[in-house]
Amino acid sequence: MSNSKGLGRGLGALFQPIDVEDGDETVHEAEISELRANPYQPRKEFDPDSLQELAESIKQHGVVQPLIVRKSIRGYEIVAGERRFRAAQEAGLERVPVVVRDFTDEQMMEIALVENVQREDLNPIEMARAYQKLMEHLSITQEELAARVGKSRPHVANFLRLLQLPPEIQEDVSRGTLSMGHARALLGIKDRDLMKKLAEKVKKEKPSVRQLEEWVQQLNQSVPKKEKKKKKAADPFIKHYENMLQQVFSTPVRIKHGKKKGKIEIEYYSERELERLIEMLNRDQVMTD
């Protein structure tokens, strides 16, 4: 596991103030051709208008804040400052100011994520994929990830749930044609084909999130009355136990209760989190033996 937990308190935990007189921290210039983007950069799209504005500013004032980089076989990898790098290219610069620092791959990934999260530069799907990638790469749980990036666990869980959407709907969210609120409401539909049809209806009619939630509720209630009554009678008890289990395991839990049998579904988002859940279940089993 990474030792870079300080990132949860912000980029300042690793990005100390730059002192141009301080030995290895000296700002120097690097050729644009020597620089490569952070391979762990979760951000895939950069607003062209915003980049153009920054490029115009750079033409007039230069790159005011040095890029943070680390050495690589072919030159340097950008740790932070890819937007400035792209704008400098747009402005026609051949060299940019950099500060060389030593970072591990884990730190590179975490810094790229935290930088974008704190500046809210990622679209919801990019954010969800970045969270997922970071959890898998660092073998950490949702709670540990939330602490790292300075967010609540429910916040992280809500983004990760977006990855349960069909690829077509994820693309809509990425493009901004479907909001995260609408996407979360669509997750209430279990039938994926029906979910896709409803997503198209949302894009055409543009209902509020509240209205969409009502549509989802109506669709879910379109079941035989007898079955609906039985489910409704059990709901308060099932909901109570779901909430209780969610508090115990710190992750979403669903109970599907039938007439004579049922099943419990416990969500996890990384191997590390699965191991944590199994350890908890094994510990409880030992205590009852």
Q: What is the pLDDT of residues 191-210, one digit of tens each?
A: 888 999 999 999 999 999 99
Element (H, E) at 70: strand 67-72
Residue 13: its pLDDT value, please? 43
Decide if 21 is catalytic.
no
Residue 177's Cα: distance from chain center in Å? 19
Please indicate whether residue 109 or residue 195 has the higher confidence score (pLDDT): 195
Does 269 have pLDDT greater than 80?
no
Name the band, by pLDDT with cuts 50, 70 and 90, for residue 239: confident
| Residues near 60 by beta carbon (within 8 Å), at least 6 away in sequence | none
- Residue 51's nearest CA partner among 21, 89, 22 is 89
Q: What is the pTM of this model?
A: 0.59
Burial of 118: CB neighbours in 10 Å, binned 0-12, 13-18, 19+:
middle
Residue 205: its pLDDT value, please? 93
Pairing of strands 262-266, 253-257: antiparallel
Residue 258's Cα: distance from chain center in Å? 35
- Give mean pLDDT, residues 241-252: 78
- Residue 115's nearest CA partner among 26, 38, 19, 27 is 38
- Give mean pLDDT, residues 256-267: 81
Catalytic residue among 25, 53, 82, 171: 82
